[in-house]
Chain A
Amino acid sequence: MCLPSCPTYVETRRERNSPRGRIALMRAIADDEQPVSRSFGEEMYYCLGCLACTTACPAGVNYAELFETARAEVEKKQVLDTPQRSFWRWLTLEVLFMRPRLLRAVGWLLRGYQQSGLQKAVRTSGLLRLLPSNLRRLEPQTPQISPAFSNNIIDEVEKPPAQTSRYRVAVLTGCVQDLAFSNINRDTVDVLLANGCEVFTPAVQFCCGSLHAHNGAPELARELARKQLDQFDVESLDAIISNAGGCGSHLKHYHSLLKGDARYEKRAQLWDAKLKDIHEWLVEISFRQPTAPCNVDEATYHESCHLTHGQKITAAPRQILRSIPHLKFVELPESNWCCGSAGVYNITQPEQSARLLERKLDCIAKTQMSVVATSNPGCHLQLAGGLVTRQSSNCKEVTQPVTLLAQAYRNEKRSMMVNE
């Protein structure tokens, strides 16, 4: 039953690239019938970790946990190690994504490089040919850094008009989201304010650790989870809001991650219960339907795997899109099929990622829509990158449901001012 749901199996039609094939290999290792080999390691990193198989599974197998454990085992046994791979893993997992201020400093440098025109100059100069081929291939995918980071445009505490205040929530700004899509964090805060939520957004936040958990570094993931729990006064909040499908899926499992940690286990349980995806939360508090339209006329919707398969949230984002007046919403064929972004998959498995992106762009083209909405920074970057290379596509814009909702709320105020 899992076979037709698995993007890698559908591509290759080889059992080892299927969920049940991978589970059979994991089981063979657990039963000592099979060593943790390089070939096994490669297979675990060929898996997208999209979790589509968990939606299809009749027996409710917890593939996410199996997959994270298997990748951790691959790292422990060092079967894939090369000096280059170890260096990049060290730089990203152990340095940059453990130190939010350093990550922002790198973002700041990158922004300077992009804004000064240097990037353009370098790209046209041919200097890039000096890079090793794998870096050269990745260079065009460097995310465009936002003109301002989240803390520049969101105050630590923002309050809705006093009489409407109903809830106290915290907003998690994320890492990639913070660097590349701080405007989406702003939109998230705005829609929360418009629905009576007092919003608490710490200026400097740690990575949620999903990158680490999905890439075989559970210890670092646990360390980051503890830091998150230290940063928020979980008890006093009604909800902790994540607006990135991939992060949210991981953030909701701190309890199982910190199992056995006497100091944190209980708080982690409370955290999991209060952790809400933004769409989920908006629907839960019966968000107010906007009276004004947003800035686009039409949109289709691509589901983030970890929102759909990881968190099983499928109706809420659509409900938000449908609530916006005059927005024509058309379903995307295969909307829950992975776009190939899959965390860092587009970097580690560029060919398979490109094939999935092509498949996704073909589906988007079928809808004839000019805008595609999604709800995860990885998908957002992947789709935006794909649409740039496919000039023929009708679709020119990638956005997010919260952005469209925030626009609609803002337009209400504008139309009121015009009326006055």
Chain B
Amino acid sequence: MEPRIADFLSGIRQAVGSDQVLTESEDLVPYSFDGTAAIKQKPLCVAFPANSQEVAACVKLAARYAVPVVARGSGTGLSGGSVPVDQSLVLCLLRLDKILEIDERNLTLKAQCGVITKDIDDAAARHGLFYPPDPGSMKISTIGGNVAENSGGLRGLKYGVTRDYVMGITVVLPDGRLVQLGNKCVKDVAGYSLKDLFIGSEGTLGIITEVLLKLLPRPAARKTMLALYDSMEAAAETVSAIIAARIIPCTLEFLDRVTVGCVEDYARIGLPTDVEALLLMETDGHPAAVDDEAARMQAIAIKHGAREVKIAADEAESNRLASARRQAFSALARVKPTTILEDVTVPRSELARMVSFIRKTAGKHQLLIGTFGHMGDGNLHPTFLTNERDAEEMHRVEIALQEIVEETLRLGGTITGEHGVGMAKKVFLKQQYTDDSYALLKDIKQALDPQKMLNPGKIFE
């Protein structure tokens, strides 16, 4: 080992304790990937700091020895954002796992970055409060990772995404300085909105160690419905009509024919497999309003051609209906060895057109693509069912993906709605940022991290 590296490692061991540093190959292999298929790279070492100061100390050391730093929570990201780079220090932040404060007078919650997302909402629930963002991996993802990726979830249409709930953050900058950005004030226009720069920055500008979150009162009631359609257009029209009727449901999720078929094969919930679209709708709020909205949504769905609308009678049935959507990815993942989950997003009004384009593209390249996603906010999850060991098929996947990206951008959409750019989508980013805005992105990175210390090789090519 180079003396420089040996010195660095001994410094890191001093900073966090030698039992909190991993360097053996058997320990590093399991940290060489995250939730993204087919991307892996072993780091130099993994360290487990216990608090913001230890994170800062590690970053300072890394800067001194020019070792790149990759922050990681539970490693569930879907764009390779927390996959290590070669010879890097991985800072695994799971030991920063304390909820520091719930302020019922200001409706805020302060937590360290390693707290599990679901634990945040559970803690809020104990006070009758609500933390709405619910990314698919919320049972294991960390709140720090959610903020760094600006994660979405099923409730985006009504409640927005992670960014809408972040009031403040504590960040370690690339040179190891520790800063606090934001506060408990609903209104705050002092200076640039710096916290917003770090939300969704994918660990490339700073390492978020603490978050101050906004909470809402917990909705008292919720009602779940499932509608089945013979065409995706009819489902899309239903969604437009619901919104035109001044109803904002908390969830409007769809599954296409391929996905419905896989879900039924796998989970046997009794769905007809000849439907072109399945729509899961949920409304929440005051019980009387929920009843009224559910009845109106049902009527709208039938008027726009739903073959059948089921309204859950109770919590258990709600869960059963929602399981069709919740199991979509699982059901698709079983079909082939490799599952590539995309998240192109288009304006809501273009959704039906985009879904039909994806279906045609799959046919043209003889690929199996199941599409599901968030109809209410235009965020789609075309899921390629393929085999990474089949080079010829993987080539067709690449071509199809490129065509889907081009169509998305043509319709005014974005290459990623909630998964982030990371490593998986950096080749497409330039296509989306066509004018000087790509240079602006790079300027910001350059201004904050001139040494390219934090998560190099992510977002930018």
Q: CA–CA, A60 to B26, complex, Å?
A: 25
Contact of A21 among B30, B137, B329, B331 (CB under 8 A): B30
Q: Does A417 contact B (CB under 8 A)?
A: no
Q: Which of B27, B33, B339 has its CB near the most chain A CB atoms (within 10 A)?
A: B27
User: Which chain A residues numbered 1 to 47 have a C-beta less than 8 Å away from chain B?
Assistant: 1, 3-4, 13-16, 18, 20-22, 24-25, 28, 33-34, 37, 39-40, 43
- Contact A16–B25 (Cβ < 8 Å): no
Contact of A15 among B31, B140, B329, B333 (CB under 8 A): B31
Given contacts A15-B31, A40-B26, whether A59 and B140 have CB atoms under 8 Å apart is no
Q: CA–CA, A230 to B455, complex, Å?
A: 61
- Size bracket, chain A contacts: 20 to 34
User: Which chain B residues numbered 1 to 48 have a C-beta less than 8 Å away from chain A?
Assistant: 22, 24-27, 29-33
Q: Does A58 contact B (CB under 8 A)?
A: yes
Contact of A58 among B30, B74, B75, B333 (CB under 8 A): B333
Q: A: which residues have CB within 8 A of B?
A: 1, 3-4, 13-16, 18, 20-22, 24-25, 28, 33-34, 37, 39-40, 43, 58-60
- Contact B30–A20 (Cβ < 8 Å): yes
Contact of B30 among A15, A33, A37, A59 (CB under 8 A): A15
Report B316-339 CB contacts with A as 1/0, cut-off 8 Å: 000000000000011101100001
Listed from nearest, the 4 A-B pairs whose CB atoms lie closest are: A21-B30, A58-B330, A15-B30, A39-B26
Contact of B339 among A16, A28, A59 (CB under 8 A): A59
Q: CA–CA, A18 to B140, complex, Å?
A: 13
Report how many A-B pairs have Cβ atoms within 8 Å: 54
- Contact A13–B29 (Cβ < 8 Å): no
Q: CA–CA, A58 to B335, complex, Å?
A: 10
- Contact B32–A24 (Cβ < 8 Å): yes
Contact of B29 among A1, A14, A28 (CB under 8 A): A28
Q: CA–CA, A25 to B32, complex, Å?
A: 10
User: Which chain B residues numbered 48 to 93 have a C-beta less than 8 Å away from chain A?
Assistant: 74-76
A-B residue pairs in contact (CB < 8 Å), sample of 6: A3-B76, A14-B22, A15-B30, A21-B29, A24-B33, A34-B26
- Contact A24–B25 (Cβ < 8 Å): no
Q: CA–CA, A28 to B140, complex, Å?
A: 25
CB contacts (< 8 Å) of A16 on chain B: these are 26-27, 29-30
Q: CA–CA, A152 to B240, complex, Å?
A: 74
User: Which chain B residues numbered 230 to 285 have a C-beta less than 8 Å away from chain A?
Assistant: none
CB contacts (< 8 Å) of B140 on chain A: these are 1, 3-4
CB distance from B110 to the nearest CB of A (A): 22
- Contact A59–B333 (Cβ < 8 Å): yes
Q: CA–CA, A230 to B329, complex, Å?
A: 44
CB contacts (< 8 Å) of A37 on chain B: these are 26
Q: CA–CA, A24 to B33, complex, Å?
A: 9
- Contact B29–A4 (Cβ < 8 Å): no
- Contact B334–A58 (Cβ < 8 Å): yes
CB contacts (< 8 Å) of B307 on chain A: these are none
- Contact A13–B30 (Cβ < 8 Å): no
CB contacts (< 8 Å) of A60 on chain B: these are 333-334
Given contacts A15-B30, A24-B32, A59-B339, whether A3 and B74 have CB atoms under 8 Å apart is yes
Q: Does B94 contact A (CB under 8 A)?
A: yes
- Contact A25–B333 (Cβ < 8 Å): no
Q: CA–CA, A18 to B34, complex, Å?
A: 13
Q: Does B296 contact A (CB under 8 A)?
A: no
Q: CA–CA, A33 to B339, complex, Å?
A: 24
Q: CA–CA, A59 to B339, complex, Å?
A: 9
- Contact B334–A25 (Cβ < 8 Å): no
- Contact B139–A25 (Cβ < 8 Å): no
CB contacts (< 8 Å) of A3 on chain B: these are 74, 76, 140
Q: CA–CA, A210 to B129, complex, Å?
A: 49
CB contacts (< 8 Å) of A59 on chain B: these are 330, 333-334, 339
Contact of A24 among B30, B95, B137, B339 (CB under 8 A): B30
Name which residue of chain B comes closest to A28, CB basis: B29
Report B330-355 CB contacts with A as 1/0, cut-off 8 Å: 11011000010000000000000000
Q: CA–CA, A15 to B339, complex, Å?
A: 22
- Contact B94–A25 (Cβ < 8 Å): no
CB distance from A39 to the nearest CB of B (A): 4
CB distance from B29 to the nearest CB of A (A): 5
Q: CA–CA, A1 to B330, complex, Å?
A: 10
Q: CA–CA, A226 to B314, complex, Å?
A: 51
CB contacts (< 8 Å) of B30 on chain A: these are 14-16, 18, 20-22, 24-25
Q: CA–CA, A14 to B75, complex, Å?
A: 11
A1-B330, A58-B331 known; 8 other A-B pairs, CB under 8 Å?
A1-B140, A3-B76, A14-B22, A14-B30, A20-B30, A21-B29, A43-B26, A58-B334
Q: CA–CA, A3 to B145, complex, Å?
A: 16
Q: CA–CA, A25 to B30, complex, Å?
A: 7
Q: CA–CA, A25 to B137, complex, Å?
A: 23
CB distance from A26 to the nearest CB of B (A): 10
CB contacts (< 8 Å) of B33 on chain A: these are 24
Q: CA–CA, A210 to B95, complex, Å?
A: 38
User: Which chain B residues numbered 371 to 409 have a C-beta less than 8 Å away from chain A?
Assistant: none
CB contacts (< 8 Å) of B334 on chain A: these are 58-60
CB contacts (< 8 Å) of B331 on chain A: these are 58
Given contacts A1-B137, A59-B339, whether A34 and B29 have CB atoms under 8 Å apart is yes
User: Which chain B residues numbered 129 to 170 have a C-beta less than 8 Å away from chain A?
Assistant: 137, 139-140
